[in-house]
Structure 1
Amino acid sequence: MKKQNLTVVGAGSTYTLGMMNSLIAEKETFPLKRVVFYDIDAERQESNAKATEILFREHYPEVEEFIYTTDKETAFSGSDFFFIQIRTGGLQARERDEQIPLSHGCVGQETCGAGGMLMA
């Protein structure tokens, strides 16, 4: 099976490390050659990247290249797949998505109900 090139957009997310663990678990069915992290928040991304470097070194040495960047050209060139996990407006928007419905007596959860509709 051909090894794939993957870009993770929004790699500073708290969900990123779980995603990387899932990819490690599925490396036989979805082999990776290169993984690129891209995020506009370099500091958050770097924390996840450092942890991912350790995960790959210990559990997925078959990955030939792992880089993280804030440069779109680097991030989007040559990838076969993209995982996109962005939150428009950042955490401030998430807070509004949760608080506005609550102020009207509705469930304020960020992914369903009125909060989820606001996020959409």
Structure 2
Amino acid sequence: MDQIPPPKEVKILETAEDIQERRQQVLSRYDNFKADARAKREKLEDSRRFQYFKRDADELESWILEKLQAASDESYKDPTNLQAKIQKHQAFEAEVAAHSNAIVVLDNTGREMINQNHYESETIRRRLGM
């Protein structure tokens, strides 16, 4: 069983200087606590941003691979049902155009994180192909 540590000796504050000194110690510890909490929050925010970046990059990469597979389909060589293929191609072009903004946003986000010296800058740089 864990032993309970003996109680600390309580220092009696007798003078105004003792009280002021103790007050400064408490305020100093509190300032250190706030600084540590702020640093931890910033690290957590950086981690959250990186996780979102990674998620978005994975989703975009998956979408691109899916579209590359669809684009490499050779059924276009078959001249039958040409009107349906034209409509399918137009829908494909519209979807690619709609996602082009997502690529720009992801690139800008990654570059911004790198410029801010994010702790995962190297991973972000590799992911962006830089």
* TM-score, structure 1 as length reference: 0.24
* Structure whose CA Rg is larger: 2
Q: Point out the structure with the larger strand share.
A: 1
TM-score (normalizing by structure 2): 0.23
